[in-house]
Amino acid sequence: MHYKLSCSLAVTLVITGAISGQGPPRLANVHKGAEASAVSGESWIRHLNRPFEETAMGKTEHLGPAAGQKDATDLIQVRTVPATPRLVSGEDLYRLNCQACHGESGQGSPPEINSVINPARAPSTPLVLQRMKSTGMEITQADAAQLSKQASTALLQRLHEGGENMPPFSYLNEAEVNAVIAYLKQLAGVPGAEGKQRALREPPVRVGELIVKSACHTCHDATGTNPNPQQMVKGDIPPLETLRAREDEAIFIRKVTHGAPVLMGDVPIVPLENLEMPERVPFILFS
Over the stretch 260-285, which tens digit does the pLDDT of each residue have? Answer: 776 666 655 556 565 555 554 444 44
CB distance 158 to 177 below 8 Å = no
Q: Over pLDDT 90: what percentage of the chain?
A: 42
- Sorted by where each begins, the domain ranges of the chain are 2-274
What span, in angstroms and rounded, lies between the C-alpha atoms of 123 and 144?
9
Q: How far apart are the C-alpha atoms of 264 and 234, rounded to whole Å?
A: 9
Whole-number average pLDDT of the chain: 77
pLDDT of 122 over the 70 cut: yes
Q: Which residues contact 212 (CB under 8 A, 6 or more apart)?
A: 39, 240
Q: Per-residue DSSP letters for 30-42?
A: EP---SPPPP-S-
Beta strands 86-89 and 198-202: pairing type? antiparallel
Q: How far is CA 40 from the centre of its chain?
A: 17
pLDDT given for residue 253 in this prediction: 81
Question: What are the contacts of 169-174 at 24+ separation with CB within 8 A?
Answer: 169/97, 169/214, 171/37, 171/209, 171/210, 171/213, 172/93, 172/97, 172/210, 173/31
Higher pLDDT, 160 or 281: 160
Per-residue pLDDT reduced to its tens digit, 207-238: 889 989 988 899 999 999 999 888 888 888 99
Band of residue 82 on the pLDDT scale cut at 50, 70, 90: low
pLDDT > 50? residue 138: yes
The mean pLDDT value for 36-51 works out to: 91
The whole-number pLDDT of residue 177 equals 94
The model's confidence at residue 76, banded by pLDDT at 50, 70 and 90, is very low
In the chain, what is the greatest distance between 2 CA atoms, to the nearest angstrom? 87
> Is 80 exceeded by the pLDDT of residue 22?
no
Tell me the percentage of the chain whose pLDDT exceeds 70. Answer: 71
Give the whole-angstrom CA distance, residue 21 versus residue 92.
6
pTM of the full structure: 0.73
